[in-house]
Amino acid sequence: MSQSDSKQDVVAVRPDREIMTRQRLPYFIGISGETVGARGLSMHMVVIPPGARAEPHSHEGYETGIYVLEGRVETRYGNSLEHSVISEAGDFLFVPPSVPHEAINLSATEPARAIVARNDPAEQDRVIPYRISPA
């Protein structure tokens, strides 16, 4: 990945490998504090394999914007993951700070891809696993 020491440079980043996130989904890291010295933004591509789902989690103290490039994804959210929204290619999705949620690829045969932007340059540091309390 490209990185610059100067705060005045415009930097192009081409992700060269995927990483497995705390959400248990493959990410291709783009813009972050680590890759380009961003101070208030991260932006990546997530791939949800066919039939896969993220581990339930929340983002402590930062907002997330998602733009779905390919596929159909169900996002379950709330204290018991009792609410649901389905997004598909061309849709934007907003996740407020600290809201428990999980993403599920609704296709058993095709991956879903999305661009994820957050107002935290080191967003994985504050991804908090979420466990639903037994009733």
How does DSSP classify residue 8? T
Mean pLDDT for the stretch of residues 39-66? 92
Predicted confidence at residue 100, as pLDDT, reads 94
| pLDDT level of residue 113 (50, 70, 90 thresholds) | very high
Whose CA is closest to 47, among 115, 106, 93, 101? 115
Q: How many CB atoms lie within 10 A of CB 111?
A: 16
**Percent of the chain with pLDDT strictly greater than 90:** 59
- How buried is 46 (Cβ within 10 angstroms: 0-12 exposed, 13-18 middle, 19+ buried)? buried
pTM of the model: 0.84
Predicted confidence at residue 67, as pLDDT, reads 98
pLDDT at 77 over 60: yes
Give the model confidence (pLDDT) of 1-18 as tens digits. Answer: 555 455 678 999 998 888
